[in-house]
Structure 1
Amino acid sequence: MKRTYQPSKTKRRRTHGFRVRRKTKGGRKIMKNRMRKKRTRITIS
C-alpha cells in the first residue's frame, strides 16, 4: 500500500511558499503571526 505523504520540494513550494502565502488574506495572516513570533522561517523557500 502506498503512503499518503509523498514528499516533493516543488509541490511543497507551490502550496506553502512565500508567493502563495502572500496571495490570499489568510496566507498573509499566517505570515504576520509568524513574524510576530519572530520565526526565522516565515514560509518555505
Structure 2
Amino acid sequence: MEAKDGSMGFDFTGIYDKIVDKELISYRMSDGRKVDIEFSQSEMK
C-alpha cells in the first residue's frame, strides 16, 4: 500500500484462514494480527 503522493508505503501481506460466501472473511496479517470481517444483510432504503 502506498500514499497517493508516493511519500509513504508499506507491504500488506496475510493468509486467508476462512471464507464463507456472503458471511465471513477471516485472515491473519504477516505480523500475527487476526482479522474477522462479518457481513450482514440490511434493508435498502
* TM-score normalised by the chain length of structure 2: 0.19
* TM-score normalised by the chain length of structure 1: 0.19
Larger relative contact order (Cα-Cα within 8 Å, sequence gap ≥ 6):
1
Q: Is the radius of gyration larger for structure 1 or structure 2?
A: 2
